A and B are shown apart, each in its own frame.
Chain A
Amino acid sequence: MYLTKFEEGMLNGEYGYARALALKVIVRVGEALGAQELVEVSHAHISGISYLNIGDAGLEFIEDIVNAGGTAYVFTSANPYMVLSDFLGCKHDDKVINKQLRIVNALNKLGVKFYTCVPYNVRPPRYGEHLAWAESNAVLYANSVLGALSNKEGGPLALLAAITGRTYKSGVHLRDNRRPEVLFNVKVLDGVNLGFLGLVIGELTGSKIPYISNLRFRCTYELKQFLAALGTTSNTPIAIIQGVTPDYKELIDGVEFEEVYDLGSESIKSYVKVFKENVLNGNGLYLVGCPHLSFNELVGFLRRAVGIVEGGGSSIDVRGRELWITTYEGFLNDEVIKLVDKLSKYNVKVVVNGCAVVSRLDSVKVDYVVTDSVKASSYISRLSRIPTLVLPRDDLLSMYFLKKINLKLM
């Protein structure tokens, strides 16, 4: 592999042991994947930082690399981690929480600026910027919507890229590898949750790059939900979307698609049914914020919740239920805090830097989950083995506060 003089120096330990080791991993992985050179990245985003996922072995590694002098060489953020607060009074074990805090302390020392799965809502990359991001929804958003360039960095690779400011130049860092291979023609989808469409497209496209035509998103919220779900069933780091991906016209120019799918409401009905049939009994977690809410989404959602509470009178009933709104802590301004205060007595929590998916909800005695997120539903039902129901945000609010649900809208 070709290395610049600076990179040679780093590999030879001129910038410390941790950087040398980190670069050695990146070079070896790059060589095995056929990369000719490295690429400078402007922003690394680390995933896999929940103690419940990476355990003692992961904690040990992160602490070791930081103690060996591993500090961020470029702007670095990380995914949210397990939720540390209680669910209806039930908490994770103190030992587990302490180990999670040790991971966060080590990452703070490394130089992680913030913890969220939507780094693109906090520091949006520019078109053409090279990144080393590891969170699937963020990678898809950066490539497909913003035109930035990032592979889905696996395991500790994003952390190693943070320390070196480099990753190997292969995959979608190369323009020729960003061209789509499978065509999805989307027909009219009246009132269907686009998250389910994301699941279907992800499953059909596998690791190939999809081109999605004729799909209209009413807001960025829908786009986020769609891509997050797509990332749960597919490995692709990019989806080319007509009218959304900045250079989609150039990327599809001259492509002859070997596979073509026409998708309508019918195609996703079977998915919706799976979630509908779950029976919801016991203590319920209502979850909004997978992926994390942007500032505008957060304010909008809290205002709607306050509206229901103020107009609901005696019909408000939240017994056996708690609502978590997960987001980035930097979005908590005075207005947000005032809105949250009005909701706190109704078991509503704004959970910052946390993620329900990487928590063990069964350990904190959650019996069922209602969420607007197809991604959250898909992972929680598998990882925590808890029944989940997917509802649009407004219906979720009605069901939470008033126990009213309009099933037609599903």
Chain B
Amino acid sequence: MCVEFKSRYEVRVRPIVSGDVEGEVIFINKYISFLGDLDAERGVLLNHGCISSKLMIFLGMKGSTVGPYIIYSLSKKSLSPSAMIVKEVDPLLITGCVLSNIPLATTDEWGKLSSIMQGYCSSRKCVGKLLCSEGLLIIE
């Protein structure tokens, strides 16, 4: 009988919009334009699938200033990610997350986080716990 080896990783984060949440993680190794890259009616990101209720880990937001409105609209339809963890924060992303009450954090350990996501989590569904109160993201 084969027992799957399970790991637990911890990454330090800096909370921008606080909140503690748990959920499946989705990793997108690029900057996202919420206008254009996203089907806001279904909460589906082009080429990456559903982002609803997931801990969304990505480089940051780019492009249109309409981004905050899209995030707000997603959250009203209960289609928004449950949290966002980014390499770079920018005013528009913060605006969208505060308006929609979505926890948002950034990390100085992006290299570590992205290698976990591209290594351990690349072949299995991982669950993330964002604990803004402790400045920690736990991935299992």
Contact = CB atoms under 8 A, between A and B. Distances in A.
Interface of A: 21, 24-25, 28-29, 31-33, 48, 53-58, 60-61, 154-157, 160
Interface string B1-21: 000000000000000110000
B40 A57 contact: yes
A66 to B, nearest CB: 14
A157 B95 contact: yes
Given A56-B73, A57-B69, A61-B69, A155 B94 contact: no
B72 A61 contact: yes
A54 B64 CA distance: 9
A11 B66 CA distance: 25
B16 A156 contact: no
A29 B99 contact: no
> Interface size class for chain B?
10 to 19
Query: Which 8 A/B pairs are nearest by Cβ-Cβ distance?
Result: A57-B73, A57-B69, A155-B65, A58-B69, A25-B98, A29-B91, A29-B94, A155-B92
B128 interface: no
A109 B98 CA distance: 24
Contacts of A28: 16-17, 94, 98
Contacts of B98: 21, 24-25, 28-29
Contact of B95 (A53, A55, A155): A155
Given A57-B70, A60-B73, 4 more contacts: A54-B69, A61-B69, A154-B95, A156-B69
A21 B97 CA distance: 11
Contacts of B68: 61, 155-156
A32 B66 contact: no
A196 to B, nearest CB: 26
B66 A25 contact: no
Interface in B60-108: 65-70, 72-73, 76, 89, 91-92, 94-95, 98-99
A61 B92 contact: no
